Amino acid sequence: MPITYLSLGSNIGDRAANLREAVTRLSDLGEIKVVSSTYETEPVEFTEQPWFLNCVVELQTGLSPSQLLDGILEIEKHMGRFRQQSKGPRNIDLDILLYGDQVLNSQGLTIPHPAMHQRRFVLEPLAEIAPEAWHPLNKRSVRELLHALPPGQSVRKIATLN
């Protein structure tokens, strides 16, 4: 079963509780191997919104990438996520970062996540739990991708989800 890495984020409601609930629900899609610490991060692109709490989960799953996507979209739906504004405030956001060493570019699903190598809020928690995970397109480890980022976005480790 492939190892997948998922990014979780929340910036409205009880952000930590939202992340905990999402992790619990993700266990229905496979075996959760590791959960990173929680990081408080400033929003990117659409910056006029509350700061996020983010973490990354390592999930071992027997689901195909499209089945996994369907499962995480169902979790977002059950948790009350409404897609009212692109990149806008949300109680939960779940993204597939890596799915083994697969590369996939289809309607609605791109693996590896197309912007993960540019996002400190993704790379910091991912590097915490999987620094040697390999980006199959960039041919670099997560640690290398993180070190290659220019200074910028504020990301602050705050706690574990427990």
By annotation, the residues acting in catalysis are 81, 90, 93, 95
- Return the HEC string of 29-60: CCEEEEECCEEEECCCCCCCCCCEEEEEEEEE
Query: What are the residues facing 40 on neighbouring strands?
Result: 53, 156
* Among candidate residues 50, 22, 52, 57, the one with its CA nearest the CA of residue 39: 52
